[in-house]
Structure 1
Amino acid sequence: MQRSVMATADGRSSTQQLRLLCLDGGGVRGLSSLMVLKMLMEMIDPDNPPKPCDYFDMIGGTSTGGLIAIMLGRLQMSVQECIDEYTTLFSSIFTKKKHRVGWGGKLQGRFDHEALEAGIKRIVGEKLNDENALFKDNSSNGGCKTFVCATSATTSETVIMSSYYSMRRLNDIRNVARIWEVGRATSAATSFFDSIQIKGSTYLDGGTGANNPINKLWAEADDAFRQGPDWRLEDNLLCMVSIGTGQPLLKKFGDSILGTDILDALVDITTNTETTANDFQQAHAQIFEQGIAYRFNVEQGLENVALEDATSAGKIEEVTRRYLSIEKSNAPLRRCVSRLKASEGMSICI
């Protein structure tokens, strides 16, 4: 992927004009995020919608948002390809395990992690002809920088797994982590899927610490694109897009073995997602006021869609289509598209 920079009158490059995309976690409701993104790409070019990897310099996500980030960024899928694979994947994996308690009384995830692994491997194999391809991107231009959030089972801290090199992280995991392992790590949600080990370390779903990874995206972009001590991300940002999965109303899953501590944790995750969005917007108010940063999230209609309800695709689509059509949402979408296209026709590539 080529990054564009704005050129000054004398031909010198001034700003990098970066475009960033952030994707929340939210189980099957990630379909809503994809529909919002599809709308943006179609508004850019209705006849030939661009792939997000060709429009965004960095894509980051958590949990199912992490899976979407992998498909759009590392696997360079179109949004429609991602929607097709996403719906197929989740209709196949969200089937209850027969036994929640395994050998030795160990509590297992409610859903089959092997089905998730198989689904991700199939997608990777079809796109890259190698189901065990590394998440590390060895392409000459580095491609669209992609990262996901996971949680260390040892420290309970959020861990970034990226396709690109970072001076803030040892390179050992990046050198060995396969795409399907990274996908498993970011989506090993509390009580849903079993944890995974990569290079001796155990990882859980990133949603427990960064279900809305907007702060992680800001920090990653600031590091990855920095060009000197006086460089500031806000001066080099063309557009930043954050997409949620709808504001849910969590409900019990009808599984008596699912303890109240887990339910409380899931409630905290979804509550913190919007708190994070609001706090970020307050801390970076200027880029929102200037029409540089945007947050899109269905406000009503998805409250009763459970994280694992793979039969609700029709409802998610219907509610999201309504959200996209009303002026309160559509006007910011139009402004966002104008911003995303702002550098077209007056950029040089480096």
Structure 2
Amino acid sequence: MHEIAECEQRLQQEEGPVAGSTRRNFNEDELLPCHYFDYMYGTSTGGLISVMLARLRMTIPQCLEIYRRVGHELFGHRRNILPLATKYHHKPLEKAVQEIVAQYCKQHEECDGNDWHPWHPEVENLDASVSTVKTQHSSVANSATWSSTRSTSKPTERICQSICLTATHSGQIGEAYLLRSYSLRYSQETPAWTIKYNEGADKLKIWQVTRATSAAPFYFDMLVADVKNERMGFKDGGIRENNPSFAAYSEHGSMHGDDRDPGLLLSIGTGRPNTDNDGFAAVWPGPLGKVKLLQKWSEKFAVFKNVLIKYTEGEKQHANMRFIAKGEHRWYKRLNVDKGLHDLKLDNWEKGSWTNPQTGITEVVNGGKTLSTMEKATTEYLTRAHVESPGGHKEYQPPKIVLQQIAERLVRHRRLREATKADDLKRWQTHMGQWLTGELKPEDAMVSAASAR
């Protein structure tokens, strides 16, 4: 949020404060991303991030602190070394998310961590009873959830929404499935080019949704829940759509038609993969992933075929979005570290030296080496001031300039929204989190700042 804070201050000095605004200072550690975006899509770890930033309306420092705190709890205690067994217990993840929800929930004074993911769960949805099963022994019937109602339902709450991509399991194939914090129903007017995902907002709790999108094969057991009278299994959405940018674009088209492009569609990758191999060894836990015989044998099974998708689909989807948007100089932007992260596995969490950005103190901590590697690679990428051609796609501008362009577009959009708040004051107050409890409260940015001190 550093560039956004700088842009806010610059525009305030050059153009003056927004009429009626009492805000004069913009602290990057207190700014909320949910005040700049309307929807946040994510899969796997990105799904957890989208929930924290959008549904729980957290700051960036709060999310980083959670990532560091939870990392060791999840990946510091391996339970199994067998090639086909899940490596980690799912309970620590569930408990961690429940604690996060309880700590950062802004809807209830005393939250037990079991908040629903939809802002307003649909009445017709039944409570979901949940269990977990071993992926390799699962045989769970499922189908996409469709409604007989054919009217388009745009989100009634003008508030930042989170959408987690998951894959539903039928024993044979994986289907992309969206877990929304709002309800959406397609209509006859929905553009034909859009993907018709499942409809509605499934009544699942926040910890269930994050478990569903993070259930990576071989790492965590699949989540199974009774949703709308159907037994459904949920796996890491990266199996089917590792890059959710087109899902976001398609959903935007479903709600707004062909006449409106997004104000900004920002795609953030997890780092370019190593193209020297097919990605299989990075997925299969342990040294057996490099055995040629096992590679050929495993490819006969659908689960392995699906896992391989995620290592190529991300960049292909980026190329597809560049084509749709006619480049990256208008409403579509992507940031994706191109060097230094390709050898990091999903559960990499190595002890080592790490410098705390808040205190400046350097010490040896669990996960320190991993954190330092990620921070170094990310900083070098975001400060790069020259153009390169990662993956054969020449950059429109170097990352440093792209970051500044993104910040200005977001800030100008926020200022325009605030300047027109008198047209619909309740809508503005809702967007700013003032009606989260059902009663008019101060902006949640102020609440977050107070709790951070």
Q: TM-score, normalised by structure 1?
A: 0.78
Instruction: Note if 1:132 corresponds to 2:114.
Output: yes
Question: What is the alpha-carbon root mean square deviation over aligned residues?
Answer: 2.6
Instruction: Note if 1:163 corresponds to 2:181.
Output: yes
Aligned twin of 2:223? 196
Aligned twin of 1:150? 166
Aligned twin of 1:348? 420
What fraction of aligned residue pairs are identical, expressed as a percent? 25
State how far apart, in whole Å, the 2-side matches of 1:110 and 1:43 are: 43
What's the offset of the Cα at 1:86?
1.5
Alignment CA distance shift 1:245-1:40 (3 Å): farther
Alignment CA distance shift 1:88-1:275 (3 Å): same
* Amino acid across the alignment from 2:331: I
Instruction: Note if 1:217 corresponds to 2:244.
Output: no
Of 121, 124, 149, the residue aligned with 2:98 is 121
Q: Which has the larger radius of gyration?
A: 2
Contact 1:95-1:112 within 8 A present in 2 as well: no
* Amino acid across the alignment from 2:99: R
Aligned twin of 1:5? none
What's the offset of the Cα at 1:42?
4.0
SS in structure 2 at match of 1:56: coil
Aligned twin of 2:237? 206
What's the offset of the Cα at 1:150?
0.3
Alignment CA distance shift 1:275-1:88 (3 Å): same
Contact 1:94-1:310 within 8 A present in 2 as well: yes
Aligned twin of 2:335? 296
1:173-224 CA-partner distances (Å, limit 9, x unpaired): 62x3000000000010111110001212111110011110011111222234
Contact 2:50-2:162 within 8 A present in 1 as well: yes
1:126-156 CA-partner distances (Å, limit 9, x unpaired): 1221311100113983521110100010151
Aligned twin of 1:323? 381
Which is bigger in relative contact order (C-alpha 8 A, separation at least 6)? 1
What's the offset of the Cα at 1:303?
1.7
State how far apart, in whole Å, the 1-side matches of 2:3 and 2:92 are: 32
Instruction: Note if 1:62 corresponds to 2:62.
Output: no
Alignment CA distance shift 1:75-1:85 (3 Å): same
1:218-239 CA-partner distances (Å, limit 9, x unpaired): 1222234x2xx6x5231xx322
State how far apart, in whole Å, the 2-side matches of 1:265 and 1:138 are: 33
* Amino acid across the alignment from 1:117: E
Contact 2:47-2:165 within 8 A present in 1 as well: yes
Deviates more, 1:292-301 or 1:264-273: 264-273
State how far apart, in whole Å, the 1-side matches of 2:402 and 2:35 are: 22
State how far apart, in whole Å, the 1-side matches of 2:80 and 2:346 are: 20
Alignment CA distance shift 1:85-1:41 (3 Å): farther
Aligned twin of 1:7? none
* Amino acid across the alignment from 2:175: E
Contact 2:4-2:411 within 8 A present in 1 as well: no
Contact 2:176-2:240 within 8 A present in 1 as well: yes
Of 305, 310, 313, the residue aligned with 2:344 is 305
Aligned twin of 1:233? 260
State how far apart, in whole Å, the 2-side matches of 1:221 and 1:51 are: 22
* Amino acid across the alignment from 1:90: G
Instruction: For structure 2, list consecutive stretches of 5 or more residues without a partner in the other structure.
Output: 10-25, 106-110, 122-155, 187-197, 351-369, 386-397, 425-453
Instruction: Note if 1:246 corresponds to 2:271.
Output: yes
Contact 2:80-2:86 within 8 A present in 1 as well: no
Of 64, 89, 96, the residue aligned with 1:83 is 64
Alignment CA distance shift 1:270-1:146 (3 Å): same
State how far apart, in whole Å, the 2-side matches of 1:89 and 1:110 are: 16
